[in-house]
Structure 1
């Protein structure tokens, strides 16, 4: 019988998550993150994103099992069960998630590359409408888009900010990305696009001095943006663990039938 995996515990800053972490520590041994084979995240979806980014930043390739001690918990599992934590993890179903990679050029001429699990969004910084050029695979598709912003969402993030902006829900495994405008003013009838996830998307900010734009990759914000290139980092994979019958894939699919 294989040995149980070594677990690391990472609670969010909330009182509920810390109380749950204390209760779990009384039932078993946990190790530091650098020694762990599975990371147990206690919190909500925002905390799950924080944990995934920490793994990306540290080059760790271990599964994450989330327990919901937040509000929505779309990427988490139910906190209560008759099974032990080790039993639940042993039965859990893995789901691979591939992050986006955003490379942004700022007004100073510097470049910064950051990752996003849910979406990358460009947002106007002032009352002035953003004016953007939209290209896909190096070909200009929209010479001018006047809007509050635009976002590129993965299937995992398609039910988050993307859905609130009236973007499409993308099933997991669809190998697609959602390109969704935020409050588009011109062209009025453009409602976005669905593109293959092996395509690159480029945005160029037009009139950046008059119409400054920020770029946000999940929780990381960069300001004074001139241009952004977004691609799916196929070489980087994250693994989430879900209780049987409660996978993220099923939840995203079911969202298409909610009204």
Structure 2
């Protein structure tokens, strides 16, 4: 980032984040998000995702530098002195993150399109096991997957819900997607797949009357779906900024050695 970049400042509504924002606001001149070259985001991963989704929906798609004043802070930088924040942003390393574009059609024929930075999940709505047909690039790969659900995760989201469902951790530069079942029943030996991020992944709900399914793209949910199509949104790439020596790549590697 250039030294004289115009910066916006956003903070979650927690007491901790608001206190940090007040201290940082006094260290420089800030502009509205619509006029900024980059944005400093104060809070946790949830607030960072909220900010990124706001930019996807309404723009502008500018780099985001996160300061962790939440819990996990996987997408954030360590919170240190507020005095050097402008310098830290100027020296930060840029990491490109491509979200997923999800198009879902409900049983009533309504079509909705959402973006997901972490993952898109299909989940059973009742006690009945979901039954799904799974296709990749138009070819049916699993005629009937019986499960609690299934998800598609980006590398940036591979350490979130995907990891909890025993899915693989994907390095950021891998250009791959994780296709991970949630509590699969049949086929018994199928534990998921790693696919090129050029893939278009499709799901069709089988027996929807008896086994209704919902789809969740990060925090946005659509119920009673019939079909879902997922692909990388190449035209809506996001940029995260990380302190040098403390990048998202480093965190993804570190996560694989947690015991």
TM norm. shorter chain > 0.5: yes
Distance 2:30 2:94 in 1: 21
CA contact (8 A) 2:213 2:225 kept: yes
Which secondary structure does the structure 2 equivalent of 1:230 belong to? Answer: strand
- The alpha-carbon deviation at position 27 of structure 1 amounts to 1.8
Residues 200 and 80 of structure 1: CA distance in aligned 2, closer, same or farther (over 3 Å): same
Pairing 1:26–2:26 present: yes
- The alpha-carbon deviation at position 83 of structure 1 amounts to 5.5
CA contact (8 A) 2:100 2:232 kept: yes
Pairing 1:195–2:199 present: no
CA contact (8 A) 2:24 2:83 kept: no
For residues 119-157 of structure 1, give each alpha carbon's deviation from its aligned partner in whole angstroms, at most 9, with x where no partner exists.
000001111111100000011100001100000000000
Residues 47 and 113 of structure 1: CA distance in aligned 2, closer, same or farther (over 3 Å): same
Q: Which residue of 1 aligns with 2:129?
A: 129
For residues 11-68 of structure 1, give each alpha carbon's deviation from its aligned partner in whole angstroms, at most 9, with x where no partner exists.
1121111111111112222111111111111111111111111111113121000000
The runs of 5 or more residues in structure 1 that have no matched partner are: none
Q: Which residue of 2 aligns with 1:101?
A: 101
Which secondary structure does the structure 2 equivalent of 1:173 belong to? Answer: helix
Distance 1:62 1:236 in 2: 11
Pairing 1:119–2:119 present: yes
Which secondary structure does the structure 1 equivalent of 2:9 belong to? Answer: strand
What are the equivalent positions in structure 2 for 1:248-259 lying under 5 Å apart? 248-259=248-259
Distance 1:155 1:3 in 2: 30
The runs of 5 or more residues in structure 2 that have no matched partner are: none
CA contact (8 A) 2:23 2:82 kept: no
Question: Could you tell me the TM-score, scaled by structure 1's length?
Answer: 0.97
Distance 1:137 1:82 in 2: 48
Which secondary structure does the structure 1 equivalent of 2:103 belong to? Answer: strand
- The alpha-carbon deviation at position 158 of structure 1 amounts to 0.4
CA contact (8 A) 2:3 2:87 kept: no
- How large is the Cα RMSD of the aligned pairs? 1.1
Distance 1:3 1:97 in 2: 23
- Structure 1's consecutive aligned runs of 4 or more residues displaced over 3 angstroms after TM superposition are none
Aligned length: 258
CA contact (8 A) 2:34 2:59 kept: no
CA contact (8 A) 2:27 2:83 kept: no
- The alpha-carbon deviation at position 81 of structure 1 amounts to 3.7
Distance 1:31 1:77 in 2: 21
Question: Could you tell me the TM-score, scaled by structure 2's length?
Answer: 0.97
For residues 210-252 of structure 1, give each alpha carbon's deviation from its aligned partner in whole angstroms, at most 9, with x where no partner exists.
1111100011111111100000011221000000111001110
